[in-house]
Amino acid sequence: MKVIKPFAIAAIALSTSVAGAIAHADATNPAVIKRMEAMKAIGGSMKTLAGMAKGEMAFDAAKANAAVATISEQGMMVPALFEANETDPETEALPAIWENWDDFVKKSDDMVMAAKGVPEIADQGAIGAALGQIGGTCKACHDDYRKK
């Protein structure tokens, strides 16, 4: 497996924390809140992994594997959570989602498959590869379907 370089880990960590910083707590549409919560859980898991990879957080194998599991579990709910074209002034979801629904579902599946494909993490050194494997799937979907 390709080992990703520290700068790549830093970039992933930065993009996940930026996403966290603009998380929208003010949405009022319950359907939109639900899908945001799922994304927050996914983002929080990536943050945990990035924190451990950078040594900012103590390595904990159970926590690392739980974070990967959260990404696949929450990821599996993404199509159902987004299927209804619900909106909210605070949403970052682009209308393109519902115009390209099959592609959106595919990109969600890609994330789930990437997370499921991560082997059991037993040491800190394995986290970089896991981040590399999953990280690209976030960007692939956000580039097309989330407001910048």
Amino acid identity of residue 4, one-letter, is I
Compare residues 22 and 62 and give the one whose CB is closer to ligand HEC.
22
Within 8 A by CB and 6+ apart from 90, the residues are 24, 26, 27, 28, 32
**Is 24 marked within a binding site?**
no
Within 8 A by CB and 6+ apart from 144, the residues are 94, 96, 100, 103, 107
Compare residues 60 and 79 and give the one whose CB is closer to ligand HEC.
79
The residues binding ligand HEC (CB under 6 A) are: 16, 19-20, 23-24, 32, 35-36, 39-40, 42-43, 46, 71, 78, 91-93, 104, 107-108, 111, 134, 137-138, 141-142, 145-146
**Is 138 marked within a binding site?**
yes
Torsion of CA 87, 89, 90, 94, to 10 degrees: 50
Compare residues 59 and 101 and give the one whose CB is closer to ligand HEC.
101
- Residue ranges for the known binding site for heme c are 138, 141-142
